[in-house]
Each structure stands twice: as C-alpha cells, then as structure tokens.
Amino acid sequence: MSVMAKFDLSGKTAVVTGSTRGLGRAFACALGEAGANVVITGRDARAAGEVEAELAGLGVQSLTVLADLTVRLEVERLLSESVEHFGAVDVLVNNAGACVHRPALEVTDAEWRNVMGVNLDALWVACQVFGRHMTERGQGSIVNIGSMSAQIVNRPQWQPAYNASKAAVHHLTKSLAAEWAPHGVRINALAPGYIKTDMSPVDDPQFARFWLEDAPQQRYGLPEELGPAIVFLASEASSFMTGSILVMDGGYTVF
C-alpha cells in the first residue's frame, strides 16, 4: 500500500459528534474529503442541514442524527441509525464540548456538572457504546478531542472544570487504548491549542497577550488546520499508534 493510500477512508463510515459547527464541522469535511461516509450529529437541525449541503458539494454521502449525547439512549440510537444506514461505523470522533470561563470559587455545581457531562461523561458513554460495536467487529478507530488545557492552566481566564475534564479525557483515552488494542480498536486523542471557533474568542484583544504572543508561532489556528490530523488518526496512516495524545497548539505548550 502506498503512503497516500493509507490515508484513504473510502468505504468507511465516520461519526463526528458536535459536527454542526466549529471544529466538528471541519472534521466532518476532512473525513469526507478522505473518502468516508459521514454521520453528522448535534442538536441544531438548521446547522446540520448546512453541513449536509457542504458535504454533498464535496460528493460525500452523509446522514444527520440529531441527538442529546448526554443521554445514553440517544447515543445508542445514534449508533443504531448509523449502522442501519451505512452498515457499520469504523470511526468515531468525540468532539462535542462545553466550557465555562469562571474563577473556581464562583463555579456553580450546575456549571461544573454541565462541563463534565458534555466533555467527559458523554464522551465516556460514546466510547463505551461505539467501542462495543467496534470490538465485536475487531476493528475501529476512536479519536477523542482533548486539549492542551489538559496539561497547562490557561490564562488570563480561569476554567477549572474544562481543564479537569480534558485531563480526564486524555487519561481515559490511554486506559481504553490499552484495554481494546487486543480487539483491533485504536484510540487516540487530538489536543488543540487556541483555535478560532465560536467557543474560543481568539480575536478578543484582551486575550492576545497570553493566547497569541506566548505561543512560538504567535497566532491562533484555524479548524481546517486540524482536519489532516483527524484523517491521520482515523486512518491506517496511524495503524501503529494507540493511546497517544497528538498536540497541535502552535507550540504553546513547549514553554
């Protein structure tokens, strides 16, 4: 198999959570461009329709399954509808996320639980539900979206719940990778730095000093810059890689 052929996802099906906007939308497009069928999932029907249209323009077959991923029955329905439509799921990208910028002493129980519920609990359930499907088939690749925040404390904003949730995502990735490797399932994580999305106000001047000037590349990233890494982690190009955390942060964490 040639080098470029290892990145080819033709005939595969990828489910991308939180794919109606931001990073998830870019991931869906990247996987589609690599040849995969794509299952779009989120809560916004209008936004999902826009992603469907974008994928159709790329010649990509897609399916939308609107779901609340914090509810196990909804995750199980996401899997069943994906399998019913495409026959199987080969790739899962756990991208859906939430963040609260607030000092620790001001974080409410509801805010803490919301961040943990989306970033960690829902990811865990998706890994378990789709992992069972993949281990039974003896193949599959799961990509969890972590963050450089799993290994640093961001500033000037405080976000303890987010940081803790992403640190947990990284270690859960390693735990599941060790357990499921004998079953043919690989699990890795992508840890982005500051990327221009609705969740990350990278254009706000008050953050430039810490978010941009402190990074060796002295800039923020764009969602599409992460797309090739997702294809790498999802495909046979990373066949000898599991339990790894791929950091893409413009060098932010080298200091």
Q: Which residue has the tokens 């969890």?
A: 144
162 is catalytic: yes
Query: Under a CB-based contact definition with an 8 Å cutoff, are residues 73 and 128 in contact?
Result: no
Q: Which pair of structure tokens corresponds to residue 205? A: 């001047």
Q: Pick from 14, 52, 30: which is nearest to 222 by CA?
A: 30
Of the residues 162, 194, 220, 252, only one is catalytic, namely: 162
Distance in angstroms (rounded) separating the CA atoms of residues 18 and 24:
5
The length of the chain, given as a count of residues = 255
Q: What single DSSP character describes residue 65? A: -
Q: Pick from 176, 40, 13, 171: which is nearest to 95 by CA?
A: 40
| Per-residue CA distances from 10 to 32, 61, 133, 227 (Å) | 9, 11, 20, 16
**CB neighbour burial string for 169-205, b if at least 16 within 10 angstroms, e if fewer:** bbebbbebbeebeeeebbbbbbbbbbbbbeebebeee
Residues catalogued as catalytic: 162
